[in-house]
Structures are given as C-alpha cells and as structure tokens.
Amino acid sequence: MSTDISMGNLPLTGASKPLGPVGKAGHVLDLCIRWSTELSAAALVVGEVVLLFANVFYRYALHDPLIWGDELATLLFIWLAMLGAVIALRRNEHMRLTTFIAHLPPSRRAFVDTFGSVIVIAFMLSLLSPAWEYVSEEWAITSAALEISNGFRVAALAIGLTLMLAISVARLMEQARALHFFVSAGIAAGVALALLTLKAEMVALGNWNLVIFFVAAVIFMIVIGVPIMAAFGLSTVAYLCTVTSTPMLVVMGRIDEGMSSLILLAIPLFVFLGALIEAMGMAQAMIRFLASLIGHFKGGLSYVLIGAIYLVSGISGSKAADMAAVAPALFPEMKARGEDENELVAMLSASGAMSETIPPSLVLITIGSVTGVSISALFTGGFMPAVVGAIAMIVVIWLKNRKRDLKEVERSRPREVGKAFLIALPALALPFVIRAAVVEGIATATEVASVGVAYTFVVGLTFYRSFEWRRLYPIIVSTASLSGAILIIIGCATAMAWALTQSGFSRQLTDLMSNAPGGATGFLLISAVAFVVLGSFLEGIPAIVLFGPLLFPVARTLGINEVQYAMVAIFAMGLGLFAPPFGVGFYAACAIAKVDPDGAMKRVWPYLGALAVALLVLVAVPWVSTGFLSAT
C-alpha cells in the first residue's frame, strides 16, 4: 500500500456489552491515553510543518539556514511517529489484513481478535525492557547543534511501546472475554516455552528457521489479522532469541534506524497535504474542470476519474486520500448517467494501482530512503510509468463505452470550460509548485510538503473558501495515526531485513537472483511477479523496506538502472495491492465507495489486465522510467 491504506478496522467483538469494573477501568485508561496522545501528536504535526517551512524560508529567503533545524525536526519526528502508532493502535487503524477473519462467525472472530491482541502484547513486552535500556545507552550521546542528550529522542520509542502495551491491555479489559484471554495467553506462553526448550533443535534446522519464522509465522499472524508491525516485529524477535544470541538492544537500534531517517518526515507532511486539498475544495475544482472539458464524451466521466486520480496523486502522495477526494465528487454524477457502481469501484481501484509511481508517492519516498536512490530522480521518473498505465486503462474504457448512447449529456460551452479552468488553475498549479521547489533547490524532498501545505492554506482560504475549521483537528490526528502506522512498520521491517541479512539470506538471494535465466530482463520479470505477490500480502511500504535493500544491489550488478527497477517494483506492488482477493487496496476502494466487493471483483479484471500489459512495457522499455532523467 502505498504504504498509506489501512488493512482493516475490526474491533474486538462484544464491545457493546455492559462494562464491569475491569471494563470500566480499561475504558478510563483508554480515554486518558487518547487525549494525551492525540493532543500531543497534533501539536507535533503542526510543529513539524512550521519548523520545516521555517527551514526553507531562512535558507532560501534570508540565506541564513537554521543549523539546528534538522536536529530538532528529527527529535520531534520520532515522537510524532511513536505517538501516531499509539493513536493508530487505539483506533484500530494499524495496517492489518481482515479479508479472512471478516468472514468468521462472531464467536470465533472474538477469539481470534483476542488472540491477536495477546500477540501484540507479547511483542510489546519483548521489547519494553530493551527499549528503556536503549534510552539509558543513548543518554550519554549529545547532539551537535542542540547539545541535548539523544536519550530525549529515543525515549519516544520506550514511551510509545509502553503506551501501546497499555492500550492493548485496556482494550482486553474493556472488550475481551476472560476465557478467550486465558486460552490465548496459554497458547502464546506454550509457544514461547517450546521455542526456549527446543532451542538447540531449532538451531540445527539451519535455513529452515527462516521459513518457520519469516514465512510461516508471518503469514499466520497476518492471516489472523495481527497488525503487520507486530507480525514483522515478533517474528524477528522470536528468530533472534531462538536461533542467535543477539541482544534485543540491537533490535531497538535497528527499529530506531529505520524510523529516524529525516527523509521519512515527508510521509506525515504529504498525508496532511493530501487531506487538506480535499478539505479546501481544491480537488473538487480540478474534477469540475476535467468534467467540463471531456465529460461529454462516451465514458467521459470515466476518463475524468483517471485524470483526477493522476492530478490528485501528484499532490497528496496517499492513495487513500486520492480515492477519498475523487469518489464523492464524481460518483453521484456517474451514477446519474447510468454507470454501474461496481464498474465505478473497479475503475477507482485500478486507478489507484495505476498512480502508485506518481510523485510524491509515499512509496517513492520510502524506496529512496531505504535504498539510497535519489528522491529527485525517482520523482522525475515516476510520471511516465503512470501515463502508460493511464493509457492502458483508457483503452479499456473506450472499448467498454464505444457503443454507448449518451445523447442526454450536453457538451460544455467554451466559456464554461474557461471559467472552470480559471477556478481550478490555483489547484492545478500545486503539483508544479511542488516539483519546482525540489528541482530548483528551494526545498528538499522532506521540506517540500511544508511548502505545499502553506500554498494550500493560502490558496484554499483565499480562492475556494470552503474549508471548515472544525475539520482541522481531526485531519491532523488522522495524519498522525496513518503516519505512525506506516513508520512503525518501516522500523520493524528494517529490523527484520537486518536479521535476514545476518542469517546469510541476503547473500543467497543475491546469488540466486543474479543467476536468473534471461539476464537483466529475466530478473526484472521475476521481480515484477514477486512484487505483485508481495503487494497483495504485505502492502507496498513494508514489502519495499523488507526486500528493497536486498534486491536493488542485484539490479545494479546486472546493469539495470535503479530508477527503472524502482518503477517496475512500485508498479507491480500497486497491481498486487489493488488486485482481489487479497489486495487490500481493492477493499479500501470498496469501503470508500460503500460498495459490496463481490460485485466489483468481477469488473476489475479487465483494468488490471491492462495494467499488467503496462507493467510489461515498463520492463521492456527502460526509457519510460529513465527518459527524462537527463533533464533534471
């Protein structure tokens, strides 16, 4: 997903029953954590936007850079990430797969939810002591510019884990049945005891441990709806404790390393920006212009849908934000013209896959962070792959609508088109403002979202005047929640990738993939298929954090341009993410449009087939991804 779509929001069943003393205590604890974390996280989001914009202003306008700006931004960022993760856990918004447990009978689902919560608690408990030890270790290190202890920064990890543990316990106290809890705790304790008892036998299994911990265990936890961050984290901890003598302090260091890269600060800022353009009315203005321009053609609003997703994706970087902005503005009129709602959701879902490479995609930012590929190059190379995908979808739309009669739809007069264009022009300029700020060196890829936020506020309040200030606080809290859910996955996936590297798997994978039949083309095809599968199960950001550092060196060895490889990987992951029956992006599109997935599932395949053809074009024609790099 792009790493921004929640995989489910299933609370523990039985929450509506009257609360006893234990349940009431859990409820009070939940409320205390809610208000303390949400208010703090909201302040941090605002603080980061102001700080990064101040960095740009002082450096570019006053030629007097804030030498302490990046240090303070990094310190605040890890606190924002961990508090956001706490909020996401309390709101059941962590990325998780609910495809399977959603079909369970209520009683069984209640037990599975309780068991999943126990697994999350086990993960938090395994890292709680190492997290506080990590704070103690880092306390002696002093930052260069601010001259304060690094312990203040990494304390966010310990406090965040403590609060997530408290939230999980409170949720069990409030909602779980006692029998379900004791059975779940017994199973978890039994598994832990078996691993400790059979440690010598497990070590003797060699590489089969990788299959047990990183394939079987991870898949099992994901299938039963455990948040991906806990599935990654607990499997890593269990592997290291069972098969190696690695101290858990190292795991905390790897999680910190994965979450603390300053480039990742672009994630919450672009999530915030994506929500703002919808709230300010800018997305609607762009859609109205496109509708006036091409809405009278056969299937015209379908073309508008593709164009709107392309434009909005160039601003928000978040697929959930893109779909949520476009669907409410277009679907009522499309239904009035006789479009089937299942067809609409199929197009919406496929357009999400088509637009994954459009900058400032959160996956682009993540892939640059974990592989060292230039963010500017990725931003430049991301436009054309999406154009190829859009053309492929347009062909399908044309074939479906070429014999359709739309006599009742009148063509907009040139004056109406011109008026719609002038109204939309400030919004249409935003992607170009973002792009120019990076290319001209005004702002870094991390800072540019703050420029976009400032531009959106000025333009939205001046020209569109539809913003309701009461929406601002929920938008900021949701930004923290989604960002925390993404960033803690990156941290846990970084720890897992490190464990895989230490096991020797990285070298073995490199040797295997380097000798793939067909040379570079064969490697690209195998990678495309692999990332489609990974996108279906893991979502984009976790998959790229886990496998990017392993596969990108192989691509470089084979002479594949790293930007082309990034585009193939991202496009393939997007295809898997929005492909049923496992792709969670497809279900997110259904949820946004409030449509039953069963009907839409039958309509999405022609569009996904067209995108598969587009993926083959990306593999066969490097120019699509790299043709404009020389211009940067």
H-helix segments, 504-539: 505-514, 519-538
State how far the Cα of 239 lies from the Cα of 214, in Å rounded to an integer: 8
Segment among 250-254, 517-521, 556-560 with least mean pLDDT: 517-521
Q: What is the pLDDT of residues 279-294, one digit of tens each?
A: 888 877 887 887 787 7
State how far the Cα of 306 lies from the Cα of 352, in Å rounded to an integer: 9
> What values do phi and psi take at 340, rounded to 5?
-80, 135
Average pLDDT for residues 587-602, to the nearest whole number?
A: 73
Contact between residue 431 and residue 451 where contact means Cβ atoms under 8 Å apart? no
Give the bridge partners for 54, in sequence order. none
- SS3 category, 149: strand
pLDDT band at 164 (very low <50, low <70, confident <90, very high): very high
Which residues contact residue 197 at a Cβ distance below 8 angstroms, ignoring those fewer than 6 apart?
A: none
Averaged confidence pLDDT in the chain: 82
Whether 331 shows a pLDDT value over 50: the answer reads yes
State how far the Cα of 402 lies from the Cα of 302, in Å rounded to an integer: 13
> What values do phi and psi take at 63, rounded to 5?
55, 35
Contact between residue 545 and residue 370 where contact means Cβ atoms under 8 Å apart? yes
- In terms of phi and psi (left: phi > 0; alpha: psi -120 to 50; beta: otherwise), the region of 97 is beta
Residues counted in the chain: 632
Average pLDDT for residues 122-149, to the nearest whole number?
A: 90
Whether 392 shows a pLDDT value over 80: the answer reads yes
The four Cα atoms 25, 30, 31, 32 give a dihedral, to 10 degrees, of 90
pLDDT at 289: 81
Closest residue by Cα to residue 196 from 110, 126, 140: 126
Q: What is the pLDDT of residues 78-88, one digit of tens each?
A: 999 999 999 99
pLDDT at 296: 66
pLDDT at 354: 87
pLDDT at 533: 81
- State the first-to-last Cα distance of the chain, in angstroms, to the nearest integer: 28
Residue type, 501: T
Which two structure tokens, joined as six digits, stand for 450? 């703050």
Give the bridge partners for 149, in sequence order. 142
Domain annotation covers residue 426: no
Domain annotation covers residue 580: no
Domain annotation covers residue 443: no
Q: What is the pLDDT of residues 8-63, one digit of tens each?
A: 444 444 444 566 676 777 677 878 888 889 999 999 999 999 998 998 888 888 88
Domain annotation covers residue 494: no
Q: What is the pLDDT of residues 602-627, one digit of tens each?
A: 888 999 999 999 999 999 999 999 98
Highest mean pLDDT among 6-10, 530-534, 598-602: 530-534
Share of the chain above pLDDT 90, in %: 23
| Residue 631 or 143, more confident | 143
Domain annotation covers residue 604: no
> What values do phi and psi take at 595, rounded to 5?
-125, 140
| Residue 15 or 357, more confident | 357
Q: What is the pLDDT of residues 463-477, one digit of tens each?
A: 888 888 898 999 999
Number of domains in the chain: 1
Q: What is the pLDDT of residues 1-18, one digit of tens each?
A: 443 444 444 444 444 456
Count the neighbouring beta carbons within 10 Å of the beta carbon of residue 22: 13
Which residues contact residue 337 at a Cβ distance below 8 angstroms, ignoring those fewer than 6 apart?
A: 301, 406, 408, 409
pLDDT at 329: 67
Highest mean pLDDT among 357-361, 390-394, 441-445: 390-394
Average pLDDT for residues 297-320, to the nearest whole number?
A: 72
Residues of the domain holding 118: 21-262
| Residue 111 or 581, more confident | 111
The four Cα atoms 602, 603, 608, 611 give a dihedral, to 10 degrees, of 170
State how far the Cα of 566 lies from the Cα of 569, in Å rounded to an integer: 5
Question: Could you check whether the bond before residue 65 is cis, i.e. omega within 30 degrees of 0?
Answer: no
Average pLDDT for residues 232-251, to the nearest whole number?
A: 90
Domain annotation covers residue 340: no
| Residue 502 or 162, more confident | 162
Q: Which residues of 264-297 are buried (b: 16+ CB within 10 A; e: fewer)?
A: bbbbbbbbbbbbbbbbbbbbbbbbbbbbbbbbeb
State how far the Cα of 8 lies from the Cα of 588, in Å rounded to an integer: 9
- In terms of phi and psi (left: phi > 0; alpha: psi -120 to 50; beta: otherwise), the region of 142 is beta
pLDDT at 4: 42
Domain annotation covers residue 59: yes
Contact between residue 544 and residue 573 where contact means Cβ atoms under 8 Å apart? yes
Contact between residue 227 and residue 194 where contact means Cβ atoms under 8 Å apart? no
pLDDT band at 632 (very low <50, low <70, confident <90, very high): very low
pLDDT at 538: 60
Q: What is the DSSP letter of 571?
A: H
Question: What does each C-alpha distance from 604 to 245, 329, 347, 355 come to in angstroms?
Answer: 49, 21, 7, 16
Residue type, 441: G
Domain annotation covers residue 625: no
State how far the Cα of 525 lies from the Cα of 389, in Å rounded to an integer: 17
**Greatest CA span in the chain, whole angstroms?**
79
pLDDT band at 204 (very low <50, low <70, confident <90, very high): confident
Highest mean pLDDT among 35-44, 217-226, 403-412, 423-432: 35-44
| Residue 6 or 563, more confident | 563
Q: What is the DSSP letter of 443?
A: S
Question: What does each C-alpha distance from 526 to 517, 533, 543, 572, 576 come to in angstroms?
Answer: 10, 11, 15, 11, 14
Give the bridge partners for 142, in sequence order. 149
Closest residue by Cα to residue 591 from 320, 234, 306, 185: 320
Average pLDDT for residues 167-182, to the nearest whole number?
A: 86
